[in-house]
Amino acid sequence: MKKHLLTLALAVTALTANAQNSAIYKVDELIEKGDFAAAAALCDEALANPKTTKFQEFYNKAGQIQIQTFTPELLKATQSIPFDTLAFCTGIDRAVNYYTKSYEATQGVDAKGKPVKWDKKIAEDTQNRLLAMVDFYNYAAMFSYANGDKARALDYFQKYVDYPQNPAFSQAVRDSLNTINRENYAQTRYNLCMLYYEGKNWDALLANAPAALQDHYNNHDIYVAVAGAYLAQGDSANWEKTLVDAATIEGDEGFFNELIVHYANSHQTDKAVAMVNDLVAKHPEDAKSWFMKGCVESDLLNDIEAARKSYSRSLEIDPSYTQAYINMGTTFYNEIAARTENHEFDHFNRGYYNHDTKDAFMAETRAIQAIYQQACDYLEKARASAPDKPELWGRRLQRVYNHMRIVYENLDDKATAEQYQAKYDEVGKFFE
């Protein structure tokens, strides 16, 4: 008798579960009629019912309903028709959530400790639907940003880069998604850093920056943001380290110049020297490494000869290195300034001579002419290497041309003096 009663109880339970599971057919009918709200409500009701066992199928259907709901909004967006951004965004969230739960329903064991039963076709559909929505979070982020909702944009940009980590994807699928969307993810990680920077969310920025820097996408801007974050937090040690990384790892001359000014103002020449020595030791065939070494030698150590050797090595490695030509030319210009301060060119600087001083005046003039000529040669090479960037070499070249004009006037060579005046005027046209 007890056995009979138990069998009856099991039968009743099975009938109840089957009745609840059969609601899936009613869901299909409502979807067919286009009554997505009612279909969604029925799915949620079934999923909340403890008698339901077909979770994989119900969650899959619930995901389909959400796709049907937000797709019209996406179509409007593609046609530049006003659409409901919030409905689109929340629809994606719900669809991804339902499909993820549909996958999760296939995992684990049942009440008897046996692997749960699941439908292969539904599993394939779930996987394909999730893959089809890979870019949707990116769309949601861009739509939100366009509407001025930066907080929502941040949320969806983050969901977009995290999407490959969905548990429904195998490692092979994750690797494939990361490879196929590499450029888009790089852009998104950059967007995240810039938005966190704009919002002064320093902790979030610093947490996201390492991954963004690995992409090598606009790293200059990311380093600026990171340095700014550390500066805002009063973390001078990490601010300095960021500049060092930007200068040495990325070879960014702008950061290097900022770092040199910092070392000069804080009287930390030894740090600058150690940094560039380490740099050329690690990267002996890198033109920028030798260039930076030359900058430290010329700007902080005032060792012109050492700087010229470093700049020369830089130009041997990269004969098109515009800034190295400029800096090399500047060393000759600075040499004249230094020797003038040392009273080596007093006769020339008086601007006249008499019978007793003529020979000294002319000797100094010829010496100065030779030095300016070298400055001129290097600056003209800088111009030849970057003819479309007069903002780099123009003013310095003009200054040297002007001095050359004066030198040749003092040498009583008016024809050559006029040539340098013409060169001066020609360069000046870039700045009119």
**Mean pLDDT of the 26-48 span:** 90
Verify that 296 and 351 share a domain, yes or no: no
pLDDT of residue 11: 36
pLDDT of residue 398: 96
CA pair distance 381, 86, nearest whole angstrom: 58
Verify that 331 and 432 share a domain, yes or no: yes
- Identify the weakest region by mean pLDDT among 86-90, 258-262, 350-354, 413-417: 350-354
pLDDT of residue 90: 94
Q: Does the residue 289 lie in any domain?
A: yes
- For a pLDDT cut of 70, what percent of the chain falls above it? 95
**Mean pLDDT of the 66-72 span:** 92
Name the residue range of residue 414's domain.
320-432
pLDDT tens figures, 322-345: 999 999 999 999 999 999 999 999
pLDDT of residue 72: 92
Verify that 292 and 357 share a domain, yes or no: no
Q: Does the residue 40 lie in any domain?
A: no
pLDDT of residue 7: 44
Residue 332 phi, psi dihedral angles, 5° rounding:
-75, -40
CA pair distance 224, 311, nearest whole angstrom: 27
Closest CA to 290 of 330, 331, 340, 324: 324
pLDDT of residue 114: 86
pLDDT of residue 8: 40
Q: Does the residue 189 lie in any domain?
A: no
Q: Is it the case that residue 384 has pLDDT exceeding 90?
A: yes
Verify that 341 and 416 share a domain, yes or no: yes
Please state the length of the chain.
Answer: 432
Overall domain count for the chain: 2
Verify that 327 and 427 share a domain, yes or no: yes
Q: Supply the mean pLDDT for the chain.
A: 90
pLDDT of residue 52: 85
pLDDT of residue 298: 94
Verify that 335 and 432 share a domain, yes or no: yes
Last residue of a domain, one of 279, 306, 333: 306
Q: What is the pTM of this model?
A: 0.70
pLDDT of residue 20: 55
Q: What is the DSSP letter of 115?
A: B
| Helical ranges in 199-218 per DSSP H | 202-214
Q: Does the residue 204 lie in any domain?
A: no
Q: Does the residue 244 lie in any domain?
A: yes
Angstrom distances, CA of residue 216 to CA of 2, 119, 228: 73, 43, 19
Q: Is it the case that residue 9 has pLDDT exceeding 60?
A: no
pLDDT tens figures, 88-116: 999 999 999 999 999 999 998 877 788 88
Q: Is it the case that residue 376 has pLDDT exceeding 80?
A: yes
Q: Does the residue 302 lie in any domain?
A: yes
Verify that 272 and 353 share a domain, yes or no: no
Residue 67 phi, psi dihedral angles, 5° rounding:
-60, -45
Closest CA to 245 of 280, 275, 202, 205: 275
Q: Does the residue 133 lie in any domain?
A: no
CA pair distance 54, 118, nearest whole angstrom: 8
**Mean pLDDT of the 297-322 span:** 96
Last residue of a domain, one of 306, 339, 360: 306
Place of tokens 């439908």: 119
Verify that 297 and 329 share a domain, yes or no: no
> How would residue 258 be classed by pLDDT, with cut points 50, 70 and 90?
confident
> How would residue 250 be classed by pLDDT, with cut points 50, 70 and 90?
confident
> How would residue 2 be classed by pLDDT, with cut points 50, 70 and 90?
very low
Closest CA to 307 of 251, 258, 378: 378
pLDDT of residue 21: 66
**Mean pLDDT of the 147-154 span:** 93
Verify that 248 and 332 share a domain, yes or no: no
Q: Does the residue 35 lie in any domain?
A: no
pLDDT of residue 275: 87
Return the SS3 of 351.
Answer: coil
Verify that 301 and 399 share a domain, yes or no: no
Verify that 329 and 415 share a domain, yes or no: yes
**Mean pLDDT of the 114-119 span:** 89
Last residue of a domain, one of 247, 277, 306: 306
pLDDT tens figures, 216-243: 999 999 999 999 999 999 998 899 889 8
Q: Is it the case that residue 172 has pLDDT exceeding 80?
A: yes
pLDDT of residue 4: 46
CA pair distance 155, 137, nearest whole angstrom: 9
Verify that 296 and 242 share a domain, yes or no: yes
